[in-house]
Amino acid sequence: MSTQPTIAVLATLDSKAEAAHFLCERIREAGALPWLIDLSLKPHDEPGADVSAGEIVERAGSNWQAIGEMERLAAGETMIAAGAEMLLEEYASGALSAVIGMGGANGCTVFCAMMRSLPPLFPKVMVTPVAATAAVQWYVAESDIAMFPTISDIVMNRFVKSVIENASHAVTGMARVYEERKSRSVDAPPLVGVSTFGNLQKCVDRVTDRLEKEGFEVMHFHASGPGGKALENLAATKELSGVIDITTSEMIDLINDGVYKPGDNRLTSAGAAGLPQVIAPGAIDHTNWWVGECPVRFRGREFYQYNMEILLMRTNDEEMAALGEMFAERLNKATGPVTVMIPSQGFSQHVIRETSDIDGNPVGSWRKPETDHLFTEALKSKLTSGAVKEFDLHINDQAFADACVDEFMELMSK
């Protein structure tokens, strides 16, 4: 390999040629080798790409002319699939040290999707005006893409040039560190994934402390959608040695289409990878909505306003039963050991709260043990793999956290 790191540059030369060549020149000045990949969705005659868009779509069994005649969505999906395949091949060969993309909304969609196919810690940078919008959560998702907002649209003025220059030096530095890290001899302890939420902090902190004393390294995944996806992705690649999945609240957002829905792979990848799993129904007692955006069909339900942004909706009987069946269906496919730990005195700290209607008028108590027990009954009736253990404890009790770690140690020993 050259002493200069090679950086893949993703751009659309039909619309961003001047900016793409400026980016490549700045990367050369920073001491790296740019590898320019054109991902234009329509044919053009602009020269300078190391890999043309036509070459990429040929991988998908199509041709550039056909792609140009497609609707933008279908054309983008074709380009993403073929482009990601190419990037992964180059990554696997050791030829790449980083990737940087530059484009507007459509370019960001295509380039970030390709980057998300690459493993964590491989340097990924996106230069785009949409980095300043709320949509960035969907572009980054469960990955570790660094976003550089261009302030204006990508037109070559002094602001955009300065942002591109900053991003060029940043990605070059990241590429060098990545290559240095690969050459180090690392004797790291086993890494355990722990899902977390603020209202389960006592349990998470105790579990973390115990695991670290047992010689494990701990990685927390905030259960806000991307966190659950990241846990599943790292479990699938066996970057994790096991999982204590305390905070499975994303599953109720999946059922109700709440703001923290995690995608369809939640509670599947760790099991498919054969990893030991300790699962708890942490915070499944509420769906998360943005304040003021609860769907009309749910407005007759019970709520608690958690903060200025989030409104919590208490999970009802029907949903608890559905959650139990969904957990069982997914965990039954696990090839590794699984235990579900049930704290019968409450699944979150909100058992101390009072509920209200959508307008803030008092309704009753959040604590509903009969409702929560429907989850346990449904789970036990459908679970055919692993075990269910019930405890007369609250999820934030120290004894429950200790029981989770003790069970995890037992599963690890198997």
* Domain boundary assignment for the chain: 6-183, 191-413
C-alpha 371, offset from chain centre: 30
Please determine whether the domains at 6-183 and 191-413 fall in the same fold group of CATH: yes
- The third-level CATH classification (topology) of the domain covering 191-413 is Rossmann fold (3.40.50)
Q: Is the pTM of this model over 0.75?
A: yes
Tell me which H or E stretch contains 226.
helix 226-236
Tell which residue, 199, 255, 193, 247, has the closest CA to residue 224: 247
Residues in the chain: 414
Any alpha helices (H) in 31-153, and if so which ranges? 53-59, 64-69, 72-93, 105-116, 136-140
* pLDDT by 10s per residue, the chain, length 414: 458 999 999 999 999 999 999 999 999 999 999 999 999 998 998 999 999 999 998 988 888 888 888 888 888 899 999 999 999 999 999 999 999 999 999 999 999 999 999 998 999 999 999 998 888 888 998 889 999 999 999 999 999 999 999 999 999 999 999 999 887 766 789 999 999 999 999 999 999 999 999 999 999 999 999 899 999 999 998 899 999 999 999 999 999 999 999 988 999 999 999 999 999 999 999 999 999 999 999 999 999 999 999 999 999 999 999 999 999 999 999 999 999 999 999 999 999 999 999 999 999 999 999 999 999 999 999 999 899 999 999 999 999 999 999 999 999 998
Which residue bears the tokens 């380009």? Answer: 79
Tell me which H or E stretch contains 169.
helix 158-183
In our burial notation (b when 16+ CB lie closer than 10 A, e otherwise), range 338-365 reads bbbbbbebbbbbbbebebbeeeeeeeee
CATH superfamily of 6-183: Uncharacterised protein family UPF0261, NN domain (3.40.50.12020)
